[in-house]
C-alpha cells in the first residue's frame, strides 16, 4: 500500500512537470508570436531620397561582415546620396525593406550606363544579419525584378560568391541561371574565392 507521503510527493512532482510544460509551451507561443509580428511589420517599398542615411547604415552593416557582398565598406555618404537621387529621378528599380522605420535590407537593379549596354541591369541585394531567414530577400527580389522588366530591361545579371549556396538557390528560384565562374576572383586576407556569374533575359 502506498503511503500518503509518497502519494503527496508523486502529486507534487506531477504538478511540477505540468507547470513546467505549460511554461515552456507559453514561452514557445510568445517566441512564435514575436517572430510572426516581426515578420508582419516588414514593409518593402521603393526607395526615396530621404532614405539615404538608413540605406547607408544597412549597407555598412552587411559590408562589415565581408562575407556576402564585394563591397568591404560603403562609398562616401555623399556618393550614396547621389546614387539614390539618380535612381529615384530615373525611376530605377531600387527597393528597401523597413522595420519600425529602420532600413533592414535593400535590392536594386541598375542599368549599365554604357550606351550599348543600357538594356542590361545589375542586381545588388543585402539584408542585415538579424533579419535574415524571414523571406525579406524574396520580397525584395520580387519587387525589384518586376520593376526592372517593366522598365524595359532585357537582361538582368548578378555576381555571387560560389560558397553562398542559399543565395544562389534563391536567385535560381527567381529565374537566374549560372553563366560562368570567375576563378580566384576575390582575395581577402590571403583566402581566394570564386565568383559565380548568373543572369536571366527577355529578348
pLDDT of residue 33: 46
Q: In sequence order, what DSSP letters do the residues of 124-170 get, joined into one string? A: EEEE-GGGTTSSHHHHHHHHHHHHHHHTT--EEEEEEETT-HHHHHH
Which residue shows C-alpha cell 525584378?
A: 145
Which residue shows C-alpha cell 550614396?
A: 80
Which residue shows C-alpha cell 524595359?
A: 152
- Judged on CB neighbours under 10 Å (0-12, 13-18, 19+), 189 is exposed
pLDDT of residue 13: 74
d(CA 71, CA 152): 28
pLDDT of residue 37: 47
d(CA 95, CA 112): 18
pLDDT of residue 70: 85
pLDDT of residue 29: 45
- pTM for the whole structure: 0.78
Residue burial 100-115, b: 16+ Cβ < 10 Å; e: rest: eeebbbbbbbbbeeee
pLDDT of residue 24: 65
Residue of 10, 15, 111, 102 whose CA lies nearest to 53: 102
Tell me the average confidence (pLDDT) per consecutive run of 10 residues in the chain, 203 residues long.
Answer: 62 68 56 50 97 97 90 90 98 98 98 96 97 97 98 98 96 98 94 97 95
Amino acid at each position: 500500500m502506498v503511503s500518503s507521503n509518497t502519494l503527496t510527493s508523486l502529486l507534487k512532482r506531477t504538478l511540477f512537470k505540468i507547470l513546467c510544460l505549460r511554461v515552456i509551451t507559453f514561452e514557445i507561443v510568445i517566441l512564435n508570436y514575436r517572430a510572426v509580428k516581426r515578420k508582419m511589420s516588414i514593409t518593402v517599398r521603393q526607395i526615396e531620397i530621404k532614405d539615404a542615411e538608413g540605406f547607408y547604415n544597412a549597407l555598412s552593416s552587411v559590408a562589415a561582415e565581408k562575407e556576402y557582398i564585394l563591397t568591404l565598406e560603403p562609398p562616401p555618404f555623399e556618393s550614396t546620396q547621389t546614387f539614390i537621387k539618380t535612381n529615384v529621378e530615373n525611376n530605377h528599380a531600387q527597393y528597401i525593406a523597413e522595420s519600425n522605420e529602420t532600413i533592414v535590407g535593400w535590392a536594386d537593379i541598375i542599368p549599365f550606363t554604357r550606351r550599348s549596354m543600357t538594356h542590361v541591369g545589375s542586381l545588388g541585394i543585402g539584408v542585415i544579419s538579424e533579419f535574415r531567414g524571414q523571406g525579406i530577400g524574396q520580397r525584395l527580389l520580387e519587387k525589384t525584378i518586376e520593376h526592372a522588366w517593366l522598365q524595359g530591361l532585357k537582361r538582368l545579371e548578378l555576381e555571387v560568391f560560389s560558397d553562398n549556396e542559399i543565395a544562389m538557390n534563391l536567385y535560381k528560384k527567381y529565374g537566374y541561371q549560372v553563366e560562368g565562374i570567375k576563378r580566384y576572383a576575390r582575395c581577402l586576407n590571403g583566402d581566394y574565392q570564386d565568383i559565380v556569374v548568373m543572369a536571366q533575359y527577355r529578348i
